[in-house]
Structure 1
């Protein structure tokens, strides 16, 4: 009880717990007001909310696996960070079992009835983003519940019911609204249009419920009890499934077309992990339909040609990392999609020889501007370039290492903040993941690789990552939310850890920067602003902007574990 009260207090205050001494950041690297890294001896969980992290810590302390802890964390996040993830969304999971890296794809799928022109209006023009998002049209078949169940079957140690208990207790007893959740509700324009969400999150006058207000969600507790008893079947069939279908199809202005058959047909897919080398390390992540691991690996392959360690954080490093990002995002836009529908040349895109030819295009004194997609080996494509639709804020990341040295890296999402703005009677928000598809089905008369199709999974940028050292031993577990910016967030953090030898907290708190093959984006209100003139002198078009990363990172050392949780959010790292 004392620990729970402490964590609840930290949730309201916005500070981490169990902080340990950390080296000061180099002046040029200063990003946000830094927390201190956390050190533990045998196990750790880093998550985006203190109550969720505490649920994971308790599971680890009972001998639970890394996957067990991630499951408990995810279910609590559904309550305490509802804008970012939950059982109404999807996730990618990367697991280190002590011998090999495995990956599970719990990405949402388009309903069988979905057609390529789903987001094209009667006038033949693509819809504005929020005209597409709000309502049932944007909702994909959720994958998270089945992903959690499948992961538990493979790597779980504690009983499934035990993992639902923290979330059930919090749903029934309530939890205090955090400053961050209150702030996001205050900015939200569409959520109050849903009567169930309005009653839950807002006062009668339409104002958001205040920080510290205790939210109870008995409907979600009932749903979790059904999941505890029947597993994922309780979600993909029966009363919960009927509730999802009704919520989606009966939206008054923008209905969708999910059916009970769509839910019953959903399956988690095991994918081949995407792995590559960087310096003396092996970096592994999630393959298509995620573009994250491929793009990160391409960037690192380009950067391996440069002495980033000698550069340190600053304008010169930002030039090279941004240029590498341009190349990666150009390929991403042309080649990446659901491998069940398009021929993604994964082998060619991460081929070291191909990446060297791409690196040779870069200039130390001048930006290349907008990069063109390359011509990787082992590819056959008849698709056209398709940029992303926007930036999402409805994602979270969980990193866990258990006492056996096994690890779970899970990035989990409902896409935009508060998803489709639809809340079921079963107590959870539904995703708007279908807006991760390209709105335009064709470009220049040819199909777009990431166009909408029935049963298809939309392209993602999520990049849950596991790093192994030269002896094939676990070295780091990390990931971040942030839409397509995830790729640059994770790339920056890896450079911070591996080249600049920062601890996980320092690496997370570095200023965010990079390019998605457009402007070079620098995080406003950080020291990155001081790099603008030097970058512009090299021909960069620079854009200062807020960058809401949420990096959760753990590094394994001979003396134990070191963890960091992005100071831009309210997360913490906890363990024993």
Structure 2
């Protein structure tokens, strides 16, 4: 899918390229002064920049990306530096032991780089079944080697850098290496999650790193060094991804997985050496919002994120949602929340029925776009009535013949999001993960291994023996909810937004909320991110606790919904294009529920 630039935009881009032609190619990283240290919910102002912007989940990571852009690096260069620092400072969410989906806009077209983890060749559909033939309890599957998929992040970033890197690969490892050797201050969020985790101490290596000798979590502000990770990154800097997927590091990963004393896994050296990222066609669709028409691009399967977000927005467009503005208190009204959660139930029903790795599962009616066809979404919208449907059934887009069973709901966690626009007209939206908080709780060479295989259905089939599309199979990529998103003005092709969030299955709602707030309600990205969270995964209506008035909760219950108020800790990052005082600016927002910030010039 190519998005043509207008003549004016092309002229502007040429001017920017000419201005940057003399940018220095060398890069010398300087650790910043102490970052902010938020915990809980911390109000953030939003940020405006003119030339470029980077939004990431931790101030040290954002700063690394900022310094790369300042030195003339590309959006891809900045994303690499950000990810390597996140491996160190936000180890609970992402890192080189996990995988990622990267959407990239090169000024002309959108590309989708798939670095999702894969199941080992020796894995089979019984991987998460116990001796009794029944699915294991969730954390019995997570903790240990069984859940570890082949990591994809390092090879993904190397592939993208070969095509779009401007600064040397080795230079982009420098921020994380410097911080790992010199140490970084433990943040309130990391301290809180370490203290509250029930499984991290079970791994002696992780216990020695994250906890003091007395067993207490390392305190906020403590200087935490990671020389082992620094050594791994130095090797990756000089040898490329081969240093991770072969040799000493690969052997350490395999030993850690296969020799777990209680829950060994099936990962092999051949699995690591054979891993390859994929370039896929992005999933793009038109969206008519309140005052403009947009082209929204997201990640195709094995992610369900773009399809579900697109379905929710498309179904809402066939209801009265557009006539329901925010209330005077700035909150969505109950009538709008009813329409949203019903649309979400319909989208999640289709997600559970159809979406899985496209190398293993055929899309309904021969195309994933059948799930976003305007006529189909209008048909689905007609199922919404004044009362909650509580649990929706999947549809049959394009008259699809259904050959699989719906996947039962299963926990999903973790993840981090990065949005970047550079001064050359390039942009990225990258969601990156090790899945659950601290992944499989297995630490090796200074980084944590993912538990991504628990994104597969533990049950391979339903009670009638009908197979589930997202069951475990050798070499398969587990279904994801990650929803990195790039939005364009349909008329001009101009980039107007990059965004996404962590949050497991709730990523879909966090991202849809922010898109709707910006595109329909005219909010800044920070205002949209600040809105309370809400959704339904085709079950209860979920509302962020202590954020909605009792009248809203009561109104939804009157419509028959089971309402649960709970923590919904998004980690949204978003950057939008806007105008201020007659000049074009980038406006950035970062989630007040986490530690992220936006930086730029």
User: TM tier, shorter chain?
Assistant: over 0.9
Equivalence for 2:25: none
Change (3 A) 1:117 1:475: same
Query: How well do the aligned residues superpose, as a CA RMSD in angstroms?
Result: 1.5
Aligned residues, how many? 555
Confirm or deny that 1:354 pairs with 2:354: no
Aligned pairs for 1:87-486 within 5 A: 87-279=96-288, 280-311=293-324, 312=326, 313-345=332-364, 346-363=368-385, 365-377=386-398, 379-392=400-413, 394-424=414-444, 426-443=445-462, 444-470=464-490, 471-486=492-507
Q: How far apart are 1:563 and its partner, in Å?
A: 0.2
Check conservation: 1:140, 1:432, Cα contact below 8 A.
yes
SS in 2 for 1:477: strand
Asked if the contact 2:32/2:63 (under 8 Å) is kept, the reply is no
Q: Give the 3-state SS of the residue equivalent to 1:99 in structure 2.
A: coil
Q: Distance in 2 between matches of 1:161 and 1:294?
A: 36
How far does residue 525 in structure 1 lie from its aligned partner after superposition?
A: 1.6
CA distance in 2, matches of 1:566, 1:458: 27
For residue 14 of structure 1, report the CA deviation from its aligned partner: 5.4
User: Unaligned regions of 5+ residues in structure 2, if any?
Assistant: 1-27, 327-331
Matched residues in 1 for 2:148 and 2:89: separation? 22
Query: Which sits farther off after the overlay, 137-146 or 347-356?
Result: 347-356
Secondary structure at the aligned position of 2:532 is classed as coil
Question: 1:231–1:529: structure 2 CA closer, same or farther, 3 Å change rule?
Answer: farther
Render the CA deviation track for 1:17-56: whole Å, top value 9, x for unaligned.
xxxxxxxxxxxxxxx5531110011100000000000000
Structure 1 pair 150–5 and aligned structure 2 pair: CA distance change class (3 A): closer
Q: Report the Cα offset of residue 157 of structure 1.
A: 1.1
Structure 2 CA distance, aligned partners of 1:489 and 1:338? 23
Deviation at 1:307, TM superposition (A): 4.9
Q: What is the CA-CA distance between 1:13 and the residue it aligns to?
A: 4.7
So what's the TM-score if we normalise by structure 1?
0.94
Distance of 2:39 and 2:494 partners within structure 1? 34
Report the Cα offset of residue 396 of structure 1: 0.2
Quote the offset at 1:110 in angstroms: 0.4
1:504/1:528 CA distance change after superposition, 3 Å = farther
State the distance in 2 between where 1:174 and 1:310 align: 52
Which piece of structure 1 moves more, 304-313 or 161-170?
304-313
Alignment check: 8 A CA contact 2:31 2:175 kept: no
For the 8 Å contact 2:200–2:206, the answer to whether it is kept is yes
Query: What is the match of residue 516 of structure 2?
Result: 495
CA distance in 2, matches of 1:405, 1:566: 25
**Residues 1:42 and 1:356: Cα distance change in structure 2 (over 3 Å):** same
Runs of 4+ that moved beyond 3 A: 1-6, 306-310, 378-381
Distance 2:460 2:145 in 1: 20
Contact 1:513–1:528 (8 Å) recurs in 2: no
Alignment of 1:39-118 (within 5 A): 39-118=48-127
- Indicate the larger mover: 440-449 or 344-353: 344-353
Structure 1 unmatched ranges of 5 or more: 16-31
Report the Cα distance in structure 2 between the residues aligned to 1:208 and 1:499, rounded to whole angstroms: 44
Q: Is the 8 A contact 1:288 1:339 kept in 2?
A: yes
Structure 2 Cα separation of the partners of residues 481 and 63 of structure 1: 29
Matching residue of 1:557: 578
Cα deviations by residue, 1:42-78 (Å, 9 ceiling, x for unpaired): 1000000000000000001111111111110000000
Number of the residue aligned with 1:21: none
| 2:32–2:60 Cα contact (<8 Å) kept | no
Q: TM-score, normalised by structure 2?
A: 0.90
> 2:319 and 2:77 mapped to 1: Cα distance?
40
- CA deviation digits over 1:490-544, x for unaligned, max 9? 0111111011111111111100001110000000021365521111111111111
Aligned to 1:544: 565
Per-residue CA shift, 1:98-136, capped at 9, x if unaligned? 111110110000000001011110112110011000000
Partner residue, 1:510: 531
Aligned-partner Cα distance in 1 for 2:504–2:127: 21
Describe how 1:560-575 pairs up with structure 2 within 5 A.
560-575=585-600
- Give 3-state SS (helix, strand or coil) of 1:114's partner: coil
Q: Residue 18 of structure 1 corresponds to which residue in structure 2?
A: none
